[in-house]
Structure 1
Amino acid sequence: MKFRPPVVEIPTDDPFKNDALGPDRRKLGESLASVFKEIEDNLVVCLDAAWGEGKTTFVEMWQAHMRNEGACCLYFDAFKNDFVAEPFDAFVVEIEKAAKNLLQKEDYTGEVVSSFRESALRVASKVLTALPGFALRAAARKFLGEKTVEEVATLVESGAEALNMETERIFDSYRESASAIEQFEQSLRRLGEQIRMETGYPLVIIVDELDRCRPDFAMNLLERIKHFFHVPNVCFLISANLTQLESSVRSVYGLGSDAPNYLRKFFHVIVNFPKCTPLSHATRYIDVLQKYHGLPEHRSLHGMSFSRWLTVCLAAHFQLSLREIEFCMQELAMCFAGHREQSEYNEVLTPFLIIVRLHDRELFEKLKSGYPTFDEVQRRLGLDVLFQGVEGMNEHVPMSLKNVLQRILPPVVQRTDGSPRVREVEWLEATTPHGTDIKDFIRHLCRQIERFEVLR
């Protein structure tokens, strides 16, 4: 059994070939490529989607597609590099490395490329220690330490000349840094011009995983690289979840910050990432995961595979993200690996309860420790819509779930006065086809599922 989600193989000749989510993402990639080629101005595009919707996989496919079109794309993984204190330092170093590898591979040579690499290395070596806050804190620690007011006064009188020299050194370092950044910008401009002339595309810089970074790293990175957003023939594609970035803004600048307007100053265009449709595309992806994890393709449930079950529950009804689907499939694989003997009840309820735990933890806890009625569960999860049938899905699938839940959960009947009561006698005396008490079965299954929880 394989546990980790599969890594999508990206063929160099057809990058979107193995995209299990259908043609929409290919169409988006081709449209984006066309926009970047036709645009004459500098452009900053934000690719907006929730965490787990497949942005990084798309970006990797799109980068390969752009390379096939002759474009030059440089990639920066913000989350991978947020362990450093100064994001701009990491950005410049990683962009220089990417440029070195790609430009050599694509036979870009000459003074322009050499100048770009030299300026990148120079700015990386200068920018960190030249930042005013860093420098002033260093100077303060050097001269003041933990001195008292009287000691500071004495120090200021006796060390004025030394302090002036240190201040001048700080200013010199800052001026050198500003000069290095200016040279980097000029080199970036010349590189963009050369790439535009040779390929018809601007230089495209991709910043990925920005929403997963430390809030201060994400905000500081945007504030640093925004000074290059105006460079001609250089465009940016920034992949992030804007809702999460807004939380980062509030974390750094305060809860009262106007986060949406703050972020708008960085981007020219926001692209809404296409979601997979409930059945057709998600089914394909779940089939891939089912085979990868070694889950059985067919059980006793009308010959239907578990992928169809999960497609109904996940894609058609609960609208879970791709990442959430992956987690559910991983947990399903763990459950079936740990409990080989399966009944129809297990086969139906195990994927259902895994999804309930993800979607409504409070209800899962109630199923584990109490006796919620069928009507309560149906109402809380909106299952009446699911039980009416899903277009494109065998009608036996949702009805089988309904039948099992009605047998497992305590029913509600009407008293003569119209008030509901549980039909306790029939339900308490009922057993599953394998002889297990009905009232304890779902609680026992919840505890089995709870033994394995895939961390997100």
Structure 2
Amino acid sequence: MDVYNPWLQDRLGRKDAASFLENYLVGRYELRRKLSASASTDAVEPNTFVLNVRAPWGFGKSFFLKGLAEELKAKGHPVAFYDAWANDFSDDPIVGFIAEISQSFLSKTPSLAPAEKILDEALAVGKKMIKPVGKILAGALAKHLAGLSLDDLRALLEDGDVGRLHAGEFDGEGLLAKVGDVALKQHLNQKEQIVLFHQKMGRFVSTLEGQEDVRLPIFIIVDELDRCRPSYAIELLEAIKHLFGVPGIYFVVATNLTQLGHSVGAVYGEKFDAERYLKRFFDQEYALPDPPRNDFIAFLIEKYPAIAHAANISVPYFPAHYGQTLPQHLAFSLVSEAFKLSLRDQLQVAATLDAVMVSWPDGERIHFLLLAFLVSLQHVSTASFDRLDATGNVAQVMDGVPDYRNASLVLRGPSSRGDTFRVDRARSYPLVEVIQTYLSGGKMDIRELSEESSPEGLNVVYGELQRDLPNSYNPNGPMPTPPVLKYFARVRHAGQLH
């Protein structure tokens, strides 16, 4: 029987990061468990933990968390995986959260029956904290004050199952006092329910500790939190910290805290320090390491199908020098080096490239090196992109780009003949010269292209442009010219997508 390997599609080296976190989290739990056993109760902090795994969108957080979950399960740890974004439609985060925990941990395994019975009891307590009565009363009061009739308000309260009240009691102060009494009662009841929930979850953890085939801690992994509504995200974090903060339960929460902070700040105002507020929910943070540049490029090419699978891509290069390198990968690497693109920049450039190529005319060749260059230039500087469109002078617009001269492409250079053999030599050409050849050739018609004599290996570019043109044409009519100058308009349109 084949053993499932969650890392078969690992393109960013996430397995090593998962191994480190697994060893760290389990080691942390074991150390504190031993310290608790040999010290007084107050001497050691509670063995609970909430870890925030940070990385920007598109950097493989979900893939990483799913792989980590599989590794932990394989070692015998109970694991629940909660997709917060998939449950964001709910008004109360506890609803989906409890449902996922129930589904993950209630395996109906006979040997775990005692523990599962206790978990059932704990989750039943947790369900009582969904849609508190105080919230219903507050909503009813707001509607009454907005002009709702007393009979309608009484009906609302009855529908909310908070008892039957007489219309005569709905004078202003009496109503507020009634609401205040019920809210206070609800608050005290909530505190009692939380204590009871903690006790039952603690018994659940203790019962599991006695099982030979179960290892602690329990892990609850939360993904996609930064895509949720700010109110939902905060309520879920509060539930994690206060309701499920039980010794023996470790949380791993993936979120781009900066991005989530922006969303929360937009709701609560610019002066609200959202990121600092959010950090109080976490005991520690782990930043997913940046993958090597070439690994990330390969990941992006696979991520965007138009880049990976376009059949009519053309890139000039000398295969004998680059070996089996994929043309798209080579071109993307050269352009990234020229513009010193960050990983985040590469992600955004890849998304725009994909958009351009998805809308590409059928049957037309894609000069991918030129296209990647133009998309990157527009990403770095729209003004430089527009200037290149107007002037066609590549060297001029690249003057403001640091170290662009280091980017070069190896093409087949001049050949020499011996008595019985021919030797092909490689020659390096600056990237800007190759791009300039594309743009210059794009202004030529088929006759000019066929007559053009460029320095050595750059002839291959003119040859590619010539193959773009129809095999037959009217010699007495206008000469067809290559379509590469249309690239500017296509890139400009795709750049409007956000």
Quickly name the TM-score band, shorter chain normalised: 0.7 to 0.9
Matched, 1:181 2:222: no
* Aligned-partner SS, 2:4: coil
Letter of the 1:96 counterpart = S
Secondary structure, in 3 states, of the residue corresponding to 1:448? helix
Shift, 1:251, TM fit: 2.5
Q: Normalising by structure 1, what TM-score?
A: 0.75
* CA root-mean-square deviation: 4.1
The 2-side partners of 1:372 and 1:298 are apart by 23
CA separation of 1:297 and 1:427: change in aligned 2, threshold 3 A:
closer
Q: Distance in 1 between matches of 2:239 and 2:427?
A: 53
Query: Among the aligned pairs, what percent are the same residue?
Result: 21
Which residues of 2 match residues 54-453 of structure 1 at below 5 A? 54-100=60-106, 103-104=107-108, 109-130=112-133, 132=134, 134-141=135-142, 143-146=144-147, 168-198=181-211, 199-228=214-243, 230-279=245-294, 281-286=295-300, 288=302, 293-296=308-311, 299=314, 301-302=316-317, 303=319, 305-314=327-336, 317-321=340-344, 323-324=347-348, 327-328=351-352, 330-331=354-355, 333-334=357-358, 338-342=361-365, 346-361=367-382, 363-364=384-385, 367=388, 370-371=390-391, 373-380=393-400, 382=401, 385-389=403-407, 399=429, 401-407=431-437, 433=462, 434=465, 443-450=485-492
User: Unaligned stretches of 5+ in structure 2?
Assistant: 33-46, 150-166, 320-325, 412-425, 450-461, 470-478
Q: Is the 8 A contact 1:96 1:121 kept in 2?
A: no
Tell me the alpha carbon deviations over residues 261-306 of structure 1, each in whole angstroms, 9 at most, x when there is no partner. Answer: 3233222221111111112x23542564588842349745124612
Q: CA deviation at 1:172?
A: 4.6
1:27 pairs with 2:16 = yes
Runs of at least 5 residues in structure 1 that lack an aligned partner in the other structure? 1-10, 149-153, 411-425
Q: What is the CA distance between 1:42 and its match in structure 2?
A: 1.6
Cα deviation code 1:221-268 (max 9, x no counterpart): 222321146421111111011211221342343322333432332222
Aligned equivalent of 1:7 = none
Give the Å deviation of 1:67. Answer: 1.0
Residues 194 and 243, structure 2, Cα contact 8 Å, conserved in 1 = no
CA contact (8 A) 1:76 1:207 kept: yes
Residue identity matched to 1:385: D
Q: Judge conservation of contact 1:310–1:351 (CA < 8 Å) in 2.
A: yes
Partner of 2:52: helix, strand, or coil? strand
Pairing partner for 1:51 from 57, 66, 83: 57
Cα 1:375–1:326, aligned 2, differ >3 Å: closer, same or farther?
closer
Determine the C-alpha separation between the residues in 1 that align with 2:384 and 2:222. Answer: 39
Task: Note closer, same or farther for the CA distance 1:239–1:377 as it changes in structure 2 (3 Å cut).
Answer: same
Shift of 1:313: 2.6
State the secondary structure of the residue aligned to 1:19. Answer: coil
CA contact 2:442–2:485 (8 Å) conserved in 1:
no
| Structure showing greater relative contact order (alpha-carbon pairs closer than 8 Å, 6 or more residues apart) | 1
8 A contact 2:300–2:347 mirrored in 1: no
SS at match of 1:237: strand
SS in 1 for 2:247: coil
Helix, strand or coil: the match of 1:110? helix
* 2:353–2:375 Cα contact (<8 Å) kept: no
Q: Which has the larger radius of gyration?
A: 2
The alpha carbon displacement at 1:202 in A equals: 0.4
TM-score between the two structures when normalised by the length of structure 2: 0.69
- Alignment match, 2:414: none
Of 314-323 and 194-203, deviating more is: 314-323
What SS class does the counterpart of residue 118 from structure 2 fall into? helix
Please report how far the alpha carbon of residue 161 of structure 1 lies from its aligned counterpart in structure 2 after TM superposition. 6.6
Sort the Cα spacing of 1:320 and 1:78 in 2 relative to 1 into closer, same or farther, 3 A: same
The AA in structure 1 aligned to 2:5 is: D
The answer to whether the 8 Å contact 1:37/1:200 transfers is no
